[in-house]
Amino acid sequence: MTHITADQLAMIPSQGKRFELVRGVLKMMAPAGGRHGQIAMRIGSMLEQYVREHQLGVVFAAETGFLLSCNPDTVRAPDAAFASHETLKEVDTLEGYVPVAPDLVIEVVSQYDASSEVESNARMWLDAGTRLVLVVDPNTETIRAYRDPSTIEVRCAGEILDASQVVKGWILQVDDVIRP
């Protein structure tokens, strides 16, 4: 199997397709469905508004590539992400793929995602240095919070999720994220 690099990935014409790079292997991603997009936009907007209001760092939209490892290269693109000013202080430019793991990653489960792949992706983010991965599952109306590989906190409809250790003071109402 031929591995490609992050630079080669950047040169591939998208032609309406989405790609990620996992340990040098190109991975084509299906376009997201409507419910997925609605929830990703909602939680991303909530995060952006909060972070901007409190001047905590930068929020990145879906499709933003993060270079998580090199040789072989891994470039992942979450549904939303946050990086604090502290995390970004060594980054010279945000042109191209972001060369650091974000502090917070948000992934919305689509109807086509296998649960084992969702778990694997969360662990990959944590291994790269992400401090909190939130997995929003519209089907079960839950948000799973991965703070380390061995701890998964599950919050259901009607509950709150405290993300303030990573995004200072940010507390989510699960209903605000998953309910139409």
In a domain, 67, yes or no: yes
Mean pLDDT (whole number) for 35-55: 96
Cα–Cα distance between 66 and 54 in angstroms, integer?
24
CA gap 139, 136 in Å, rounded: 9
User: What residues make up the domain containing 76?
Assistant: 6-178
pTM of the model: 0.92
Q: What is the DSSP string of 52-83?
A: HHHT-EEEEETT--EEEETTTTEEE--SEEEE
At 111, give phi and psi (nearest 5°): -65, -15
Sheet arrangement for strand 142-148? 57-61, 80-84, 104-108, 132-137, 142-148, 151-156
Cβ contact 60:80 at 8 Å? yes
Measure the CA–CA gap between 110 and 9, rounded to whole angstroms: 24
- Domain count of the fold of the chain: 1
Could you tell me if residue 108 is inside a domain? yes
Say if residue 1's pLDDT is above 70.
no
- 172 lies in some domain: yes
CATH number, domain at 117? 3.90.1570.10
Average pLDDT, the chain: 90
What pLDDT does residue 135 have?
Answer: 96
122-176 tens-digit pLDDT: 999 999 999 999 999 999 999 999 998 888 999 999 999 999 999 999 999 999 9
Residue 1 lies in a domain: no
Report pLDDT digits (tens) over 29-44. Answer: 877 888 999 999 999 9
Task: Indicate whether 113 pLDDT > 80.
Answer: no
Within-domain flag for 107: yes
